Structure 1
Amino acid sequence: MTPCLPATIQTERLLLRPPQLADAAALFAAYTQDAGVAHYMTWTPHVDLAQTQAFLEWCVKAWEGGRCLPYVLTRQGDATAIGMLEARLQGHCVDLGYVLGRAHWRQGYMSEAINAFSRVALALPPIYRLQATCDTDNLASVRTLEKSGFRREGVLASHTVHPNISAEPRACFIYARCRDR
């Protein structure tokens, strides 16, 4: 059974919504070409707008399939995309990934988005667990997850290749937030 996550989630300052092909220029400007933002990601910085457009085409198709829901983050009252939160549905578990444009770092936007998503997702009967991994050196992501109510469960050795750091898989922390019982 695939949970029925909403197409939009609102917070006090943000709107999480499905991606649109028209978001490409804003995402390219905000972060897809930024090497600093891509540092701990599993992708390399985009060299041109066409790469971001192709990525958004994949995101739109992913929504249609319903197993992977990449939400675009915008500020309330401003339709400009500033980041994304991806929810990968895995039965009773949702695996999260996220990214935010550098101009919006250290403002609490991502923890606000993750918190809102978590409340909505964990209220759905089939979902019991949300999880996310981050490189053990990515202290900003560690803080974001902990501020969002996630608990560190351990270290996954040689888990994820971060091509902007190394061609070899690196250790990652595994974090989870589970439904209260």
Structure 2
Amino acid sequence: MTTISLPDEIRTQRLTLRAPRRSDAPALFAAYTQDIDVARYMTWRPHTQLAQTQGFIDYCIKAWDDGSCRPYLLVPHDNDDIPIGMLEARLQPRTIDLGYVLQRKYWGEGLMPEAIVSFNQLALALPEYFRIQATCDVDNVASARTLEKSGFLREGRLERHTVIPNLSAEPRPSFMYARCR
């Protein structure tokens, strides 16, 4: 097991970022894992069965426990049992790769930039991390804007970078964004 110094819980103005629980699968399935619009630019297809979401949660719990990743679930302060999104921090030496997703009904409320900024402040204050990076499909304007609102700078375009199965079986170009200290 890897020792990591990222916190188990992060509180923002409106959200709590916390560890996944096995009991979260039904709420995640209802919130967004089966939503085609949410999954459009993701590296996964919309889930058609609750068992798929349960398998994903099991993977997240294992990654959390082995220290390779911190898949934080986003929950409102007033209801810890209702996850509305995820901020996944994949840990590498000196670098964290971020991925994120948010339930559609919360789009446009500034919740994801709020979560990302809070995470960045904590992570970049730790001596072991110098860079937080994220990629997004070149057509995913909303994700690019989220990263820019969160203080990330676009560093470049990566050709044939990521397979987005809801758009193409071929790798698509992505923009690389980063925030460094």
Structure 1 position 94, deviation (Å): 0.2
TM-score by length of 1: 0.97
User: Equivalent of 2:177, from 158, 164, 175?
Assistant: 175
TM-score by length of 2: 0.97
CA distance in 2, matches of 1:38, 1:96: 16
Structure 2 runs not aligned, ≥5 long: none
CA contact (8 A) 1:74 1:81 kept: yes
User: Equivalent of 1:156, from 143, 158, 161?
Assistant: 158
CA distance in 2, matches of 1:108, 1:21: 27
CA distance in 2, matches of 1:154, 1:3: 29
CA contact (8 A) 2:93 2:128 kept: yes
- What residue in structure 2 maps to residue 96 of structure 1? 98
- What residue in structure 1 maps to residue 15 of structure 2? 14
String of CA shifts for 1:62-93, please: whole Å, max 9, x gaps: 10110111000001111110000000011000
String of CA shifts for 1:73-116, please: whole Å, max 9, x gaps: 00111111000000001100000000000011000000000000
CA distance in 2, matches of 1:135, 1:51: 24
CA distance in 1, matches of 2:23, 2:4: 27
CA contact (8 A) 2:42 2:164 kept: yes
CA distance in 1, matches of 2:36, 2:62: 26
- What residue in structure 1 maps to residue 117 of structure 2? 115
Q: Does 1:24 align with 2:21?
A: no
String of CA shifts for 1:129-177, please: whole Å, max 9, x gaps: 0000000000000110000000000000000000000000000000000
Q: Partner letter of residue 111 of structure 2?
A: Y
CA distance in 2, matches of 1:74, 1:46: 21
- What residue in structure 2 maps to residue 77 of structure 1? 78
- What residue in structure 2 maps to residue 67 of structure 1? 68
CA distance in 2, matches of 1:45, 1:92: 32
Aligned length: 179
Structure 1 position 2, deviation (Å): 4.9
CA contact (8 A) 1:3 1:126 kept: no
CA distance in 1, matches of 2:78, 2:64: 23
- What residue in structure 1 maps to residue 133 of structure 2? 131
Q: Partner letter of residue 20 of structure 1?
A: R
Q: 1:2 to 1:126 in 2, by over 3 A?
A: farther
Q: Partner letter of residue 60 of structure 2?
A: C
CA distance in 2, matches of 1:169, 1:131: 19
- What residue in structure 2 maps to residue 38 of structure 1? 39
